[in-house]
């Protein structure tokens, strides 16, 4: 379980990345969703002991990120955003170096690497330099590191950003093979839907909404989405489109006024909670 207490991060240039957030993440897989710059990666880097918060604290399975970083690191795998393997090294070599860094014996590292590579169907490519692998396979290699490590907690920062749909599905299926507690950041709603138990919306350094998919969709029960290209006070603006959610009963009235009316989808969760409302 991950608990955050008044966690705040202000960078040296004055940019406020996290505004004193408090929360607890109990699901086996929790997705943090938000726009670019919302504070997702900052939160991930603080929790994985790479970045020191300005104030506040957090615990991972009861271990304090500020005072028990060595214990946390033994039980945690953190895959960075846009992380890529070293092109000249093979998947097998990556895994063995990584597991040695985690303190595993050479024999143990070899066995754990074999297990993870076979489980994620990378065995065939174990001796190929990684610069010959596809984007999806490169990302799967990082998930293989997490599997081989046997870590209790795994952080995945935007694991499928930039991948084609097939590669994305491959990575999703590999993430499902993890038996650890997983915290992942994404800005893809379908990814959160496919992988997670709980979803946390974060924007402008604050947690906007938290819950299961069903709980979050309950807010839209009986609602329909209305769009306008003209400014409307109180509606959410995305580019030149203004969006609001109204009762289904009143949909016809909006149609008569010339507004565009659409069914609510998962993307609307992102629209509603993932972006700031501009009046």
Partner 1 sequence: MVFKLNLRYILAMGWYYGFSTITRGPSYIIASLSLPLTMFFLVYMLSRGALLPYAVVGGFISMISSNALSSAGDAAFFRLELKIQDLFVATAISSTDYMIGIMLSYLVFSLPGLFIYAVIGYVYRIFDPFSSLALLFVLICMIVATTSISFIIAGFLSHIRNVWGITSILSIVLTIIPPIFYPYSYLPKYAIYLLAISPATPASVLMQGVMGLQPLQMPMAAILIAETAVYFLLAKKFMHWREK
| Residues in touch with partner 1 (CB under 8 A) | 12, 45, 48-52, 69-70, 72-74, 76-86, 88-89, 93, 96-98, 100-106, 109, 129, 142, 145, 155
- Supply the minimum distance, in Å, between the C-beta of residue 278 and partner 1: 31
Q: Which is nearer to partner 1, 145 or 269 (CB)?
A: 145
The position carrying tokens 């207490």 is 5
For 179, counting Cβ atoms within 10 Å of its Cβ (0-12 exposed, 13-18 middle, 19+ buried), the class is: exposed
- Supply the minimum distance, in Å, between the C-beta of residue 54 and partner 1: 9
Angle at 48 between CA 180 and CA 215, to 5 degrees: 55
- Supply the minimum distance, in Å, between the C-beta of residue 181 and partner 1: 15
Q: Which is nearer to partner 1, 56 or 274 (CB)?
A: 56
User: Among candidates 99, 50, 111, 118, which has minimal Cα distance to 78?
Assistant: 50
- Supply the minimum distance, in Å, between the C-beta of residue 88 and partner 1: 5
φ/ψ (deg, to 5) at 28: -65, -40
Q: Which is nearer to partner 1, 97 or 218 (CB)?
A: 97
Q: Which is nearer to partner 1, 5 or 110 (CB)?
A: 110
DSSP string, 1-37: -EEEEEEEEE-TTS-EEEEEEEEEE-SSEEEEE--TT
Q: Which is nearer to partner 1, 50 or 263 (CB)?
A: 50
CA 51 to chain centre: 17
- 105 is written with which tokens? 């014996």
Q: Distance of CA 186 to CAs 95, 152, 157, Å?
A: 25, 21, 7
Q: Which is nearer to partner 1, 141 or 264 (CB)?
A: 141
- Supply the minimum distance, in Å, between the C-beta of residue 143 and partner 1: 12
- Supply the minimum distance, in Å, between the C-beta of residue 87 and partner 1: 9
Q: Which is nearer to partner 1, 11 or 238 (CB)?
A: 11
User: Among candidates 124, 138, 136, which has minimal Cα distance to 166?
Assistant: 136
Distance CA 277, CA 279 (A): 6
- Supply the minimum distance, in Å, between the C-beta of residue 66 and partner 1: 11
- Supply the minimum distance, in Å, between the C-beta of residue 145 and partner 1: 8
The one-character DSSP state at 199 is E
Q: Distance of CA 125 to CAs 78, 92, 174, 266, Å?
A: 23, 9, 16, 36
Distance CA 94, CA 138 (A): 11
Q: Which is nearer to partner 1, 131 or 190 (CB)?
A: 131
């Amino acid at each position: 379980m991950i608990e955050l207490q008044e966690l705040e991060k202000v960078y040296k240039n004055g940019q406020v990345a996290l505004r004193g957030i408090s929360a607890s993440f109990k699901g086996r897989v929790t997705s943090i969703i938000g726009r670019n710059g919302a504070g997702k990666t900052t939160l991930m880097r603080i929790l994985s002991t790479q970045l020191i918060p300005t104030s506040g604290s957090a615990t991972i399975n009861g271990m304090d990120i500020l005072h028990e970083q060595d214990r946390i690191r033994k039980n945690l795998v953190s895959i960075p955003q846009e992380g890529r393997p070293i092109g000249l090294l093979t998947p097998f070599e990556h895994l063995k170096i990584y597991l040695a860094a985690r303190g595993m014996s050479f024999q143990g590292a070899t066995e754990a690497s074999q297990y993870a590579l076979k489980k994620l169907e990378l065995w065939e490519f174990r001796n190929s330099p990684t610069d010959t692998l596809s984007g999806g396979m490169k990302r799967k290699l990082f998930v293989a590191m997490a599997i081989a490590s046997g870590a209790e907690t795994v952080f995945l920062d935007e694991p499928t950003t930039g991948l084609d749909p097939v590669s994305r599905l491959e990575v999703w299926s590999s993430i499902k093979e993890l038996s650890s507690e997983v915290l992942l950041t994404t800005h893809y709603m379908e990814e959160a839907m496919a992988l997670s138990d709980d979803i946390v919306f974060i924007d402008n350094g604050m947690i906007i909404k938290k819950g299961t998919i069903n709980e979050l969709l309950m807010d839209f029960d009986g609602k329909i989405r209305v769009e306008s290209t003209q400014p409307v006070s109180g509606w959410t603006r995305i580019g030149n489109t203004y969006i609001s959610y109204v009762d289904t009963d009143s949909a016809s009235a909006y149609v008569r006024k010339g507004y565009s009316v659409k069914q609510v989808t998962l993307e609307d969760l992102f629209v509603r909670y993932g972006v700031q409302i501009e009046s």
